[in-house]
Chain A
């Protein structure tokens, strides 16, 4: 499903070069649930951005669904994000001026679905995250957990095969975090491939596989010797 080989990512500012990823290798199969952990500044978000086609990497090879995506145009990457990938952000990133319904509607609009189809999908995902009754609420009128549920609903509305989450529970208390995790697990059981960045080892343990990033490299991943070798070498 996702395959990264020798990806490196260098941020250049006026004075310094930061190597956020170095010779990064990772394969994720269809339907997997991968948790990414690592110390702060190790490159987790950078990896997620590249995986989700939000940023272009400096060198290496990245195949998504067997297709090389490094040379896609801006419009084409937008299309891929829209159709194949769903995002859940640490800060929820709901659009404050739009109500719940319209927020979930955003990716569907870009997808070009007709009104009836959009409505049906939105109602279905909101039902799934348990917020069917809050359609007309504005983000500011919801609790943090509810906001994140809306964000998840929005990520799922387009039925992506691939869900990327960057510390989806980072802003939530542990109880709320647990319920979000359950939701994500349930989604994974439905067949969606999930990559989730998290600080919390207990949450990471709920995933099918753990990838630890240190200094821009995969340093340890359970029972994946090949990757471990590369990381050492």
Chain B
């Protein structure tokens, strides 16, 4: 097309063009940064927890009077749960992946108060953990029934063995050396030794926002904390049927405690990432609305420009312009304006991103988003101006002699 004269004509009427270009630029800056946030969140949400989420649910049991013998209750409960038809396996633990509440400790490879430890999430489990969670042991051995001890609420000491995740082994022994961790001694509470007997592939901690969310240790103990959680894995398809049965069974079997917090792992994931999921929806909505507003702005201004230039259009038609020429004129004009907008937008986007990375500790955006957004906005601009351009092309040539 004939960009030269279009550009010169545009320069005689800068304001409208500048406004649209600015609008496109700011829209692009918001859009790209919002998409970058969405990407980060979506990636975080896509990380597997390492356990058989679709079939796992859990429930808490809280003793509330002196008649409650926790040790007996836990043993009876576990026996009853494991015997229930439809239950694959069950165990007692202190906390649930992604639930938001749990224990963390530090492990270090050398003893000493002044050595730096690596933060790790702690789950107390018994020898049924592989089966109950559907974990994959990738090195060493798992706990045997004889390894399992009882832990009092106020206890401050630790058993002599632990199983950790690959991520934890990597943090302790190095990226490529993690396999060598089996059999090594690590220190908890600065000085207390524990032997790593096995390494499991993956199991997430309770806090999805923690940068060590993959660093987990399993400790072979059953707890006597007054309140305990039972993790139950159902056979595929039986979970929803089993849940009320389990709740009823536990409530009836012992009147000295209450059961509460019956929840599926799926719901836990949903709650855990609810903020992120909502943020994603909110941002997508924002982007959509913004594009719509920018498009409407383009439609509005282009319509004005068409009606302001009706006579000019007629004259051009009289001088031999075809309909396509006229439509093309407005489309090209928009391409120029949007083009300036996206160029400015690219700069603005990068600036905003640098500021957000700085102020909110966000991840830097991926570079390809910038050209992609430029393309999208150019297309949106062309779509928006299409209507007014078509109206322009249907201005009859006789307007040249008729309009004052």
* Contact surface of A with B, Cβ cutoff 8 Å: 45, 48-49, 52-55, 74-75, 78-79, 81-83, 87, 89-91, 93, 95-99, 102, 105-107, 109-111, 138, 154, 158, 166
Contacts and interface: CB of A to CB of B under 8 A. Distances in A.
A81 B323 contact: no
Contacts of B317: 54, 78, 81
A106 B318 CA distance: 11
B401 A49 contact: yes
Nearest to A90: B401
B319 A82 contact: yes
B400 interface: yes
A120 to B, nearest CB: 17
Contact of A78 (B5, B314, B322, B400): B322
Interface of B: 2, 5, 8-10, 12-13, 311-312, 314-325, 396-398, 400-402, 404
A75 B397 CA distance: 12
B321 A166 contact: no
Q: Which of B324, B396, B400 has the most CB of A within 10 A?
A: B400
B401 A54 contact: yes
A74 B395 CA distance: 12
Contacts of A166: 401
Contact of B401 (A48, A97, A98, A110): A48
A53 B318 CA distance: 8
11 contacts: A74-B322, A74-B323, A75-B324, A79-B322, A81-B318, A81-B320, A83-B320, A98-B5, A106-B5, A110-B316, A166-B401
Given A48-B401, A54-B396, A75-B324, A97 B13 contact: yes
Contact of A87 (B2, B12, B13, B319): B319
Nearest to A73: B322
Contacts of A105: 5
Which 7 residue pairs spanning A and B have beta carbons closest together? A82-B320, A97-B9, A97-B12, A107-B319, A78-B322, A54-B397, A93-B315
A89 B320 contact: no
B319 A106 contact: yes
Contacts of A93: 311-312, 314-315, 318, 400
A149 to B, nearest CB: 16
A77 to B, nearest CB: 8
A107 B320 contact: yes
Given A78-B321, A82-B319, A109-B5, 11 more contacts: A54-B317, A54-B396, A75-B324, A83-B320, A90-B401, A93-B312, A93-B400, A98-B5, A102-B9, A105-B5, A110-B316
